[in-house]
Amino acid sequence: MRCGAYPEVTTVRVALGQFNAVVGDLAGNCRKMRELWAQAVQSDVDLLAFPELAVCGYPPEDLLHKRYFLDDCRLAVDKLAADCPDKTMVVGLPESSAGQTYNSVGVLKDGQITTTYRKGMLPNFGVFDERRYFRPGSEPVLLELNDVRVVLTICLDIWNIEWLGDFLRDVGRIDLVLNVSASPFHLGKIKRREEVVSDCAREFECAVAYCNLVGGQDELVFDGRSMFADSTGTIITTAEAFDEHLLIADVIPRDDGKVKVRPMQPPAKQPIDRVSEVHGALVLGTRDYARKNGFKKVLLGVSGGIDSAVTAAIAVAALGEQNVTCLTMPSKFNSPDTVKDAQQLAENLGAEFLTIPIEPILGRFHEALAMVPGWDDAGIAYENLQARIRGSILMSLSNQLGALVLTTGNKSETSVGYATLYGDTAGGFGVIKDVPKTMVYELAEHINKAAGREIIPAETITRAPSAELRPDQKDADSLPDYDLLDRILAGYVEQDKSALQLIESGLPQQIVRRVIRMVDRNEYKRRLCPPGVRITPKAFGKDRRLPITNHYSPTTHLGDDSP
């Protein structure tokens, strides 16, 4: 795709300011950009780029419908330009013009915004709703710095190479495609991003500088990992994962038509595998949700089971042991072993540990409810009462202590409704809400291995999971084996496979039908659960939105569909 005369060998030094923006904190976001600008000036950078919608954070959602918000964003960028006149900066902002709103980047130079580029490809799938807010741009923008020709793009623009080729047809020679992005994390996303960046570099025979957002925003986690690729499509250097980073490299067009990239820093350490990636996302998502919403401390119930153990360990990693309180609330159904493991976990983590037995409270509730004909202590209502007592205790302490309650339910349980409304779903944030049960076990092993010691007690990992709400209860009494359950859920929830497709892949028909019915019947429960970190390609909430009142079943054509 390269055309035109090649310049004499020259260099442009580019910095990618990967930082943790806070939605709506215009002053705070600009302060961080000023700090990175000062570092860039010291490094003699020619071009400094920040992520998509850097001034307001991503996604700002319906703030974009407020005209005064858009005006304030523009004023903030104008002031940033005036404060940072040296060097050329590219800053993401929502732009209002002639009654339309655009997802734009402003080019800041000599104390002012000299031009803007408007995003052409607007995603409207998964967690993205950009067509709700923005109109697409229609004109490319080319910058020339030191005779190096730089094309501006935003996020999805480079994910459709055919569209981008048509869009840039009349631009002429391109030495660098600069892409500013707010690309959220899920497992496997980094490999796809690297492929997209490499494909873009090879297609246009130029370097690519990709600047991504980092930080947690509600359910979403942005993992950073900004990168540079040379004109062969080779990824030359990558920024930190799950942390802020100013990534700097020289982009050097050569007279043979190749574009070289020379990094100015040692390589950043990257997660070694998928489990360490997930752990990093959960820690960052938990830390940012708590801190950005004004919570210094968190509180959670620990049962001696693996879900609460992993949640507690992530909370300590995110916020520090001094800011985590673990509370065990045993009844007559809790074994001495699980109570002991809950205490051992807290001691291993260095977290505060409290015990509030619920048996006396349960007894009084039961006495009062026994006045209603039909009440007894032999069914699921009595089991759920225990969970609701625990939820009330946690939320009462949250009010009193100002601590955020973390729920401990995993994706497998949430999918099929194996949870109690206003009980174990009561809280402000679900750390492992999108983590399948089988991965919870992997995380437990990872936590212990990374620490070089036993953080989560071995018995917690090896013991058969149980809610301990009745004598000798096991999860397996109510649910399929978690290995099988997670395979069905991955196919049905994340990959949108039909019941027939799952069965034809070799999964047992009766269990597939049963699991699908459980998933579909429990949409109402999921709506009432707190937000949690998204780590899979399709999470409940922003990704998967189905009606609560819904009579469609994908299992009907298989025969009898009664519960």
Are 152 and 90 contacting, i.e. CB atoms less than 8 angstroms apart? yes
| 294 φψ region: left (φ > 0), alpha (ψ -120 to 50), beta (else) | left
Helix axes 26-42, 67-83, angle to 10 degrees: 20
Are 473 and 466 contacting, i.e. CB atoms less than 8 angstroms apart? yes
Of residues 30, 32, 52, 240, which has the active-site annotation? 52
Active site residue 52: yes
Active site residue 119: yes
Given the structure tokens 């707190």, which residue do they identify? 530
Among 147, 146, 149, 196, CA closest to 168:
149
SS3 state at 10: coil
Among 354, 177, 256, 232, CA closest to 9:
256
For residues 351 and 337, what is the distance between their CA atoms, to the nearest angstrom? 19
Of residues 87, 109, 119, 525, which has the active-site annotation? 119
φ, ψ for residue 13 (rounded to 5)? -95, 120
For residues 244 and 224, what is the distance between their CA atoms, to the nearest angstrom? 7
For residues 181 and 24, what is the distance between their CA atoms, to the nearest angstrom? 18
The CA R_g of the chain, rounded to the nearest whole Å, is 26
Among 310, 314, 244, 316, CA closest to 280:
314
CB atoms within 10 A of CB 441: 16
Cβ-Cβ contacts under 8 Å for 160 (sequence gap 6 or more): 121
Given the structure tokens 């442009």, which residue do they identify? 12
Classify strands 298-301 and 259-263 as parallel, antiparallel or unpaired. Answer: unpaired
Among 174, 133, 132, CA closest to 153:
174
Of residues 56, 73, 84, 155, which has the active-site annotation? 155
What amino acid positions are annotated as catalytic residues?
52, 119, 155
